[in-house]
Amino acid sequence: MFENRMILLEGAEAARATASGMAAVNAALLSQVKAGDHVVAPKALFGSCLYIIENILPRFGVDITLINGTDLDQWQNAVTDRTSCVFFETPSNPTLDLVDIAAVSDIAHKVGAKVIVDNVFATPLLQKPLELGADIVVYSATKHIDGQGRCLGGIVLGSEEFVEDTLAPFLKHTGPALSPFNAWNLLKGLETLELRVARQCDTAEEIADFLGDHPAIKRVMYPGRDDHSQASLARQQMARGSTLISFELNGDQEKTFQSLNRLQLIDISNNLGDAKSLITHPMTTTHSSVDDATKAELGITEGLLRLSIGLEDVADLKDDLGFALSSQVA
C-alpha cells in the first residue's frame, strides 16, 4: 500500500520500498551498474551518498567522475558513452545547491545514461523529477514522509521495466526490505505530508528572511529567496523553496557550538523533515567523513548550520534563534 500511494504521488510506473534511504540510494545504483561502467555525480551530496559513489563503486570496477553539479558544462564534459548512470540530490545536502534536472537529463540521455534523483530535500510535493526528464527517484522516507522521527524507510520509483527487471531482483536477493510496521508508520505520515510541508515552507520562508537580516549571519542559503545563487532555477523546477535553510555564522566552531547550545526549542539532531525543528552542524556530523579539501570546496565551514523547519509557532522559533544568536552580536 505504501508503494502504491507513493507511485500515485510521484506519477511513477512502479516502486519498491526499502529499509532506509541509504538502502534506496544503494539499490538504485548497485542494482544496475557493472564493472567497466562510469557514473557521474556532484561532490555536493549527503556524506553517505558520496561514500557509495566515491568509495564503494570504484572497488567493483566502476569509474566515477565527481563534478560541480551546478555547472552544466562540467556535466557535459564528464559523460561518455560508458556512463550508465548519473546521480544527484537537488537541493543538495547541506548547502542547498540545485542541479538543473531537465538539462542534466538531456545531457545524460544523449549518451544513454539513466538519471537518478535523490529528491529528499524537495519532497514529492515540491519537485517532480520524472516530469522533468529523470528516470529514477529515490527518497529517504525517514525524513518528511514519516515526519515524526519514528522509523527509517526509503523508496525507489521508476519505470515498470527498471523496477521489475533490475531493481526488484536485486532487493529480493540482498534483503534491505521495509518492515510491515514501518510501512504502516510511513502510510500514517503520508496522510499529513501535504499539510506539514505547506506549513513548514511558510515558516521556512519567514525564518530565512529573519536569518538573512540578522547581524550574526554571514550568508543564508534558501532556494525560495531571491538571493539564492540559483533562484531562477528554483522557480523553474521547485514549487516552493523547501523546508530547509542553511546559514553560515561569522564565528568559528566554538562560537557556533555556543549558539547551538543556547537553543531551547530547536533540537540538535541530524534528522530532517521532522515535526520538530532540528539543527545540524554538517562539518562534524553528516559530512564528517568528507575530506577537508572537499568540505572547503563545498562551503562546509565551521560556521555552517543546516536547519530543518518543524511545525512549531514561527514566533517561538524566531525567539529561540534570536536568543541563541544574540551571543554572537557584540
Length of the chain: 330
Q: What is the dihedral of CA 142, 145, 149, 155, to 10 degrees?
A: -20
In whole angstroms, what is the distance from residue 127 CA to residue 49 CA? 20
Burial class (CB in 10 A: 0-12, 13-18, 19+), 282: buried
Name the segment binding ligand PLP (CB under 6 A); options: 14-22, 157-165, 212-220, 243-251: 14-22
Q: Is residue 243 close enough to count as binding ligand PLP by CB under 6 A? A: no
* Identified binder of ligand PLP from the candidate list 118, 135, 205, 274, rule CB under 6 A: 118
Q: How many residues bind ligand PLP (CB under 6 A)?
A: 14
Q: Which is nearer to ligand PLP, 87 or 210 (CB)?
A: 87
* Identified binder of ligand PLP from the candidate list 46, 88, 222, 247, rule CB under 6 A: 46
Q: Is residue 22 close enough to count as binding ligand PLP by CB under 6 A? A: yes
Q: Is residue 95 close enough to count as binding ligand PLP by CB under 6 A? A: no
Angle, nearest 10°, between helix axes 180-212 and 314-326? 60
> What is the smallest separation between the CB atom of 96 and ligand PLP, expressed in angstroms?
11
Q: Which is nearer to ligand PLP, 214 or 295 (CB)?
A: 295
Nearest alpha carbon to residue 189 among 228, 140, 225, 230: 140
SS3 7: helix
* Identified binder of ligand PLP from the candidate list 14, 15, 16, 20, rule CB under 6 A: 20
Q: Is residue 154 close enough to count as binding ligand PLP by CB under 6 A? A: yes
CB count within 10 Å of CB 81 equals 10
Closest-CB residue for ligand PLP?
21
Nearest alpha carbon to residue 133 among 90, 194, 163: 90
Contact yes or no for 140/154 (Cβ under 8 A): yes
Q: Is residue 152 close enough to count as binding ligand PLP by CB under 6 A? A: yes
Q: Is residue 93 close enough to count as binding ligand PLP by CB under 6 A? A: yes
Q: Which is nearer to ligand PLP, 154 or 303 (CB)?
A: 154
